[in-house]
Amino acid sequence: MSDLALPVWAREEAFSLKPDVSPYGCRDEKGNLVGFDELDGLKRYLSSGKGKLAWIWVPEHRRLIAPEEYPSLVSTLKKRRRLFSEYDLQDGKRGLLLFGAILIYVIYAAYARGRWAAVGSTQTVGIAVLLFFFFAIRPYWSGLQGIKELRTTNKESVAEEIPEARFELWLQSQKSRITMVLIGVIAAVGLVQYLTGGGFAEAGLVKARYAAGEWWRVHTAAFMHGNPLHFLMNASALWYLGKRLETLGRWPHLTMVFFCFGIGSRLGHHGMGFGGK
């Protein structure tokens, strides 16, 4: 049994027992197994960039481990990281051309039509900027940084990366059902808003109607969004932060934070309650 003073992801039992199918192998986050009779087979597989790497198993350990925990794979991991950094760089270059052209066109169209200040045009430009950042700037920058790190460092060990690697793999294996439920609910509400062409007057935080006694609006308003960009940003933040909060603090904390923050932010923003006018 591991030391209970250690974080859960640092304990031996954090990962499951290795499969009894071959001496060496790897398992991805979906549970797919690829086995090898020799270490060289595992090295060649990882170096080729095949599969989305997660856990591995080796004869020296009875449980699955992070690849960074096996010293014999240091050079293999460096080759794999270089390969994926080059992939990111290529994707970034293509994204700069494609989504850069889309962004320029959207800005030009909004300006040419004289509707630059219109809400719809502003939202379209915002979505184009978000896509340009996510599919062009992010992979291009990630690729550049990855290649730069590999060129400027000469690591013979990746021991310092083990805690983070184990944490990410452990987090990846945890279920976040309430987070997915919340995302599903706000997505469903967004679809209803789109199909009905509104919905804010019926369920949004309308100050006059709230003051008239419709207190439930502070709850329903948390699931509504003003535009697609607003929804995408909130859903992304909820997916990233919600999974961590639900995993580390359990689902009651997630629901309390979600609803309390939603109520507090709306009451404070609209000056309603807690001394507001």
Q: What is the pLDDT of residues 83-135, one digit of tens each?
A: 889 999 999 999 999 999 999 988 888 777 765 555 456 777 878 888 899 89
Range from 46-50, 57-61, 119-123, 147-151 carrying the lowest mean pLDDT: 119-123
Domain that holds residue 139: 74-168
Same domain, 82 and 106: yes
Whether 276 is covered by a domain: the verdict is: no
What's the mean pLDDT when you consider all of the chain? Answer: 80
**Of 124, 142, 168, which one is at a domain's C-terminal end?**
168
Same domain, 21 and 107: no
Range from 9-13, 104-108, 175-179, 210-214 carrying the lowest mean pLDDT: 210-214
pTM above 0.85, yes or no: no
Three-state DSSP string of the chain? CCCCCCCHHHCHHHCCECCCCCCEEEECCCCCEEEECCHHHHHHHHHCCCCCCCEEECCCCCECECHHHCHHHHHHHHHHHHHHHHHHHHHHHHHHHHHHHHHHHHHHHHHHCCCCCCHHHHHHHHHHHHHHHHHHHHHHHHHHHHHHHHHHCCCCCCHHHHHHHHHHHHHHHCCCHHHHHHHHHHHHHHHHHHHHCCCHHHHCCCHHHHHCCCCCHHHHHHHCCCCHHHHHHHHHHHHHHHHHHHHHHCHHHHHHHHHHHHHHHHHHHHCCCCCCC
Whether 3 is covered by a domain: the verdict is: no
Same domain, 62 and 91: no
Same domain, 202 and 261: yes
Same domain, 52 and 95: no
**Of 168, 202, 225, which one is at a domain's C-terminal end?**
168
Top-confidence range, 55-64, 150-159, 238-247, 267-276: 55-64
